[in-house]
Amino acid sequence: MGLSKSPLLAAHGMAGATFVESAGWLVPASFGSVPDECAAVRTAAGVYDLSDQGVVSLVGPDTRRFCNGMFTNNIRDLAVGRGNASAMVDEKARIQGMLRLYHVDTEAFLAVLEGVTPEAFEARYAKYIIFDDVEVTDLSEQLGVVSVQGPAAAATLARAGLPVPEGEGALVSVGSDPVASVRVATNARSVAGGYDIIAPRDALAALWAGLLGAGAKPVGLDAREVLRIDAGLPRWPVDMSEKSLIHELRLVPTHASFEKGCYIGQEVINRIDVMGQVVKKIWGLEMGEDAIPPIGAEVKIGDDVVGTVLSGAREGSRVRVLALLRKAAWEQGKDVSVHAGGRIVPATVSDLPFPS
């Protein structure tokens, strides 16, 4: 089976992109210069192609209650035109996937999936939809996602003729059709913040061209990873496994609520939060080394293993990685070493997000 391809593939090729395979998709790795793409997001605006992210709708009179019982964040109190991020967890609170859920109409929600296919999502939750009036529909063939990030993201949207949502979790729809509408939502995928746009796939080429015409620079996967890691944002399933907990990944403030009814995994999540029984947590490591250490490489203090490397990215001669560290290494500026393939590389612990 061949790689899945974005409807923007031709536009990326004309812009001089180089491509790479990522989770079964052919995606632009770079549009020429990773440092320049990072600089665009840090100082102005960059646009990401996120066509690989699945989109599903959940519709029906029981949808709000159903979603509130399935996901970690507060869906019960989401007004129409609002959204938030949640984790999909099992009964032991172990992460099974990530998503952003938007309340788009009275009985309708739209979910943008991270690293989870619509097929896997439907299979996981079909067993819970027994007596609930909820219909799950895969809209990935009809809808795609692009993201505008950077301090000039709002101005770029306005110049492109798109609405600018105000406030965390805000969503603005252009039109009322469940598929044909364009929706803009606040979503910080970088330290600078920005917006996601969910739009019909057959309109993405014109939308992409309009955003570039409004001043945004195209940003490939390599620069996106640099910016994501700078912001300390873990990605499913790259930085997580089905044994990961949201407390370990610092996701509680953005992905969980303690002011809602019962949901899958709630008892364990509440107990961890009350008792503070987290022995490992995500931190950053910085090293002046060209080679990105492999996922799973050991992090040591002296001869003691204090953690493992998650994902990493290189910008110029600087490498930054996310790592899951034990308490002995929870200190800004602490010296550690990364051990991989017979090499020992000095590194410095950093809190997240990384200092600019």
Q: Is residue 246 part of a domain?
A: no
Residues with Cβ within 8 Å of residue 105, at least 6 apart in sequence:
80, 176, 178
Q: Are residues 153 and 47 in the same domain?
A: yes
In a domain, 284, yes or no: yes
62 plus 199 within the same structural domain = no
Q: Give dist(CA 262, CA 103) in Å, integer.
A: 20
241 assigned to some structural domain? no
Co-location of 48 and 64 in the same domain? no
Number of domains in the chain: 3
CB atoms under 10 Å from CB of 132, counted, come to 15
Q: What is the CATH number of the domain that holds 35?
A: 3.30.1360.120
> What pLDDT sits at residue 226?
97
What CATH number should be reported for the domain holding residue 288? Answer: 2.40.30.110
Asked if residue 161 and residue 122 are part of one domain, the reply reads: no
Render pLDDT for 267-326 as a digit per residue (tens, 0 to 9): 999 999 998 878 999 999 999 877 899 999 999 999 999 999 999 999 988 899 999 999
Please state, in angstroms and as integers, the Cα–Cα distance from residue 259 to each residue in 72, 73, 92, 109, 263, following that order: 11, 9, 19, 20, 11
Question: Are 98 and 115 within 8 A, CB to CB?
Answer: yes
User: According to the model, what pLDDT value does residue 1 have?
Assistant: 62
Do 121 and 102 share a domain, yes or no? yes
Q: What average pLDDT is seen over the chain?
A: 95
Question: What pLDDT, on the 0 to 100 scale, is given for residue 178?
Answer: 73
Domain-located, residue 269: no
Q: How much is the CA Rg of the chain, to the nearest whole Å?
A: 20
Please check whether residue 297 lies inside any domain of the structure: yes
Determine which of 154-158, 178-182, 345-349 has the lowest per-residue pLDDT on average. 178-182
Its domain, for residue 11, covers: 4-54+141-230
The whole-number pLDDT of residue 131 equals 83
Helix H, strand E, coil C: the string for the chain is: CCCEECCCHHHHHHCCCEEEEECCEEEEEECCCHHHHHHHHHHCCEEEECCCCCEEEEECCCHHHHHHHHECCCCCCCCCCEEEEEEEECCCCCEEEEEEEEEEECCEEEEEEECCCHHHHHHHHHCCCCCCCCEEEECCCCEEEEEEECCCHHHHHHHCCCCCCCCCCEEEEECCCCCCCEEEEECCCCCCCEEEEEEEHHHHHHHHHHHHHCCCEEECHHHHHHHHHHCCCCCCCCCCCCCCCCCCCCCHHHHCCCCCCCCCCHHHHHHHHHHCCCCEEEEEEEECCCCCCCCCCEEEECCEEEEEEEEEEEECCEEEEEEEEEHHHCCCCCEEEEEECCEEEEEEEECCCCCC
Residue 253 one-letter amino acid: P
Quick one: average pLDDT of 79-106? 96
Instruction: Give me the CATH number covering residue 121.
Output: 3.30.70.1400
Is the pLDDT reported for residue 118 higher than 70?
yes
Average pLDDT over residues 217-230: 98
Beta bridge partners of 300: 305, 337
pLDDT band at 242 (very low <50, low <70, confident <90, very high): confident
In a domain, 268, yes or no: no
Tell me if 265 is assigned to some domain.
no
**Sheet holding 18-22: strands in order across?**
4-5, 25-30, 18-22
Share of the chain above pLDDT 70, in %: 100
**Residue 177's pLDDT is what?**
80
Do 116 and 60 belong to one domain?
yes
Domain assignment of residue 270, yes or no: no
